[in-house]
Structure 1
Amino acid sequence: MVNGFDQSRINELEPAMQAIVRRRTNTLGPAYKLFYNSPLEIVRGEGVHLYDKSGNAYLDVYNNVPSVGHCHPHVVAAVTEQLATLNTHTRYAGEAILDYSDRLLATFPDELSNVMYTCTGSEANDLALRVARHRTKARGIIVTEYAYHGTTASIVDISTTMGPNVPIGIDVRTVPAPIPTPDGRDVGEVFARNVRAAIDDLERHGIGFAALIVDTIFSTDGVLTEPAGFLKAAVDVVHAAGGLFIADEVQPGFARTGRHWWGFARHDVLPDLVVMGKPMGNGLPIAAMVARPDVLAEFGEQTRYFNTFGGNSVCIAAANAVLDVIENEGLMANCAEVGDYLLDGLRHIADSDDRLHGARGAGLFLGLDFVDADGAPDPQLALAVVNGLRERRVLIGATGKDANSLKIRPPLPFTKENADTFLEAFGGAVGATR
């Protein structure tokens, strides 16, 4: 795991943290990981900050799940009131889920007018694969080479970031991420050709082609935002081949990219299925799949689907409150304005350091690469800066196939003052590595 704590260094920790780490291992098992060379014990959150046991505030530039900020009072109040009133499944008639669904669907193109609820983005992606395969009568799925889409068995099959001991499915093909090439070839055309070749391979092996699924900001591939519109040619190829395009909006969705509600809108494409995750409830277990009705119709008529507490009363209240906050606090405009300001600041710092390359972003989702003197990926420098920021009480992560890309993804209420705090700390952390 990028930026994972090395268990062999446990004896370097303070006694209290050593005890917690040992207890975690004994109780939770070895699969759970901690961040940073020196792990943190976080006990409280508020807005864009997390707090440790000593009351120290850490600026959160990493956590997208509490999308409108940690413990937002409007979300807390809505959840508390609903939890004291009713919490049940969707097999009883009620208007709250319908009212919320109308609000949610109003943020999508008119063609996307059905929604189904789950508890997690993994479940929503799992459902999307089921729908795509039922619709196309084919099995083949195309993903990028360093993709992450969730943790169910079928979704691990398409999540290439899980490591060499977790093989992808035999009906899955990977394509290189749409990264600009040194020779200046059109990013979109190259990506579309690679998707076409993967479709041909699936057909040649008798698997057939069901869907292309991408996180529309390519977060684990390194945060790939430029140029806007590069997805269009590949989506055209997908549709020409009779397949579906699934937009995974778990990370870029809900206004994060600044000028659109959804990441796919930056590319002027119409997905067949759109998947959302827990940011829709500010971290509560609610997620969803939005679909074109014609894509969903046969699946709904011929198969059975029920998610016991997907779309439950409390989580719908949370999701409704999140929309309130995004709309009433002008968070889409804030993402655009503060994101542009932050990107300018990153570029200014990068201009004076040839180890920093390719600052890019859309709203409050930004990336930047660390390279060595030869221009090759430098994951050790990325790791040093991430841990240097942690020591400066700024929380952030790294990403990308080569683990050399900074992933900047704060809660949506991030301000210019917060951006200044981050940029000062970032400059200090980078400078300390010279």
Structure 2
Amino acid sequence: MMTGKQRLEKEVTLELRNKYIGPSCKLFYRDDPLKILRASGTYMYDEKGHRYLDCINNVCHVGHCNPYVVSAAMQQMAVLNTNSRFLHDNLVLYAERLLTFFPKELCVCFFVNSGSEANDLALRMARTHTGKKDVITLDHAYHGHVSSLIDISPYKFNHPGGEGQADWVHVAPVADVYRGKYTDKDYSLEELSEKYADEVKQLCDKATKKSGGVCLFVAESMQSCGGQIVYPPGYLRQVYKHVRAAGGLCLADEVQVGFGRVGSHMWAFQTQGDDIVPDIVTLGKPMGNGHPISAVITTREVADSFGATGMEYFNTFGGNPVSAAIADAVLDVIENEKLRENATMIGSYLKQEFNSMKQKHGIIGDVRGQGMFLGVDLVKNRKTREPATAEAAYINKRLKEQYVLLSCDGPSRNVLKFKPPLVFSLNDAKELLEKLDNIMTEMEVAECEVNDAAKSTLNGTVNSHHKSQISNGHCSDIQVKV
């Protein structure tokens, strides 16, 4: 029996996990998983007391164990936590406050427990409202782990264990201007916006011909699993126009990128223009700073048509008094600590420094993103843009060894993915940059030494100029093979 004082050795914890937890529940760093015992702000601590800089935990949005949020949870838990089918002020006051951050058309909340649950409910609402079934999604997209969302997530159904694409699902190429179907090698951003939007229009026409119209277009406002993708300006405006002409609704999935992560706006869909108004917005991970609360935000028309079926909807825990108190405290911290401004300032600094590193290290092909949602696309060759998958994995491993937690994503898992708590500081940023720079230099020097040894074997002599380059760390156009 756990007493709160018992602490298992890491090997025992891992053994028990392997014995009692489903094998498909994967861990970070599978070869040497971390056992984390506590966390604070942007840092996590393992069982040996090692401190890790957390650059990936977008769940703890306002910092691990934020004291203000913890206090709000404790105070409400000590008074009442109950089924959300009872009247309680926390629920309605939080809904009223949350909606002030949205365009006036988005005026109704449904509270649930996770981003997956939010997207599942949104899909159900869209089908009820439109009377249609066909869904348009983007390639590489992931929208949740429940069955209905696996069906519309190419990130899952096109990979091992997936059952492939259903006939009512239409997959549009993601508007990736660096390595997508159309790229900035051949087109301007304006042309790219039109071309990618036209791909959606073609699918709308196909669905209309086949099924009489479209139910829903669903997309993250900036795509995460696809490799930190930022769409070209005007893309969503054109797409929403095409989808609505086909009778469909438009859903902005803000589970990863909402609540000020992009800095300039509260919601990432707003970066595409002030006139961009989805029919449904889904919220998740950051909403409760790790506590399970999420939401579906929609128009009065969609909410009313969903309610008109006569089928009652309720969610036992969604928006319960404790969850609502925590979510409200998260908004307090975002506003009082000016975390949107911090996301803009630190994100801009990091992006600038990543681009400076690009001039030094040939492995960096592209730097993209906004605020604290950034991606560094690693390549073997800048001309061909061949993904540097093994190199990205190596860098991720070496960063962990130096107590920095980062992750790799994208279809080729070659994109270093930065999405930390919004309290990430300038000193945190400098630590990440210094260690990343050193690792890339280390890789280049190692590759230079390999090349130098090969030349020595072939020629019987060491190229003195090449040797000098190695000692000065100037082999910036070479990437190590790992």
TM-score class, shorter: over 0.9
Q: Which residues of 2 match residues 245-284 of structure 1 at below 5 A?
A: 245-268=250-273, 269-284=276-291
1:242 and 2:253 matched: no
Assess if the C-alpha contact under 8 Å between 2:118 and 2:294 holds in 1: yes
Deviation for aligned residue 1:187: 2.5
Unaligned runs of 5+ in 1: 1-14
Q: CA deviation at 1:158?
A: 1.0
| Map of 2:473 onto structure 1 | none
Give the superposition deviation at 1:207: 6.8
1:368-387 alignment to 2 at 5 Å? 368-373=376-381, 374-387=384-397
Aligned equivalents of 1:227 and 1:199: distance in 2? Answer: 20
Does the alignment pair 1:285 with 2:288? no
2:415 aligns to what? 405
Residues 246 and 274, structure 1, Cα contact 8 Å, conserved in 2? yes
1:301 deviates by 2.1
Moved more, 245-254 or 174-183: 174-183
Q: Specify which of 116, 124, 148 is matched with residue 154 of structure 1.
A: 148
**CA shift at 1:208, angstroms?**
3.6
Q: Which SS does the other structure have where 2:295 is aligned?
A: strand
State percent identity of aligned pairs. Answer: 39
Aligned match of 2:168: 171
Q: Which has the larger radius of gyration?
A: 2
What displacement does 1:98 show?
A: 1.0
Q: Relative contact order (alpha carbons < 8 A, sep ≥ 6): 1 or 2 greater?
A: 1
SS at match of 1:359: strand
- Partner SS, residue 37 of structure 2: strand
Match in the other structure for 2:221 = 216
Matches within 5 A, 1:198-209: 198-206=203-211, 208-209=213-214
SS at match of 1:423: helix
Amino acid at match of 2:116: S
Letter in structure 2 aligned against 1:141: V
8 A Cα contact 2:175 2:231, kept in partner: no
CA drift of 1:21 comes to 3.0
Number of the residue aligned with 1:31: 24
SS across alignment from 2:386: coil
Q: Secondary structure at the match of 1:117?
A: strand
Q: Scaled by the length of structure 1, what TM-score is found? A: 0.94
Tell whether the 8 Å contact from 1:188 to 1:232 is kept in structure 2 after alignment. no
Cα separation, 2, equivalents of 1:390 and 1:164: 27
Q: What is the CA–CA distance in structure 2 between the aligned matches of 1:228 and 1:421, rounded to whole Å?
A: 33
Q: When the two structures are superposed, what TM-score results if normalisation uses the length of structure 2?
A: 0.85
Contact 1:171 1:207 in 2 (8 A): no
CA distance in 1, matches of 2:155, 2:436: 27
* Root-mean-square deviation (Å): 1.5
Distance (Å, rounded) in 2 between the aligned partners of 1:296 and 1:275: 14
Aligned residue-pair number: 420
For 2:78 and 2:152, how far apart are their aligned partners in 1? 40
Cα deviation digits, residues 214-242 of structure 1 (max 9, x gap) = 11111111111254433221111111221
CA shift at 1:355, angstroms?
A: 1.3
Preserved contact between residue 339 and residue 364 of structure 1 (Cα < 8 Å): yes
| 2:65 aligned residue | 71
Q: Which residue of 2 aligns with 1:363?
A: 371
Q: Call closer, same or farther: CA 1:332–1:228 in 2, change over 3 Å.
A: farther
- Residue identity in the other structure for 2:196: F
**Dislocated runs of 4+, deviation >6 Å:** none
> Which residue identity does 1:334 align to in structure 2?
N
CA contact (8 A) 2:85 2:314 kept: no
Deviations 1:175-209 (A, max 9, x none): 11101102125222122111112222223332741
C-alpha distance in 1 between matches for 2:247 and 2:210:
17
Q: Which amino acid letter does the alignment assign opposite residue 98 of structure 1?
A: V
User: What corresponds to 1:310 in structure 2?
Assistant: 318
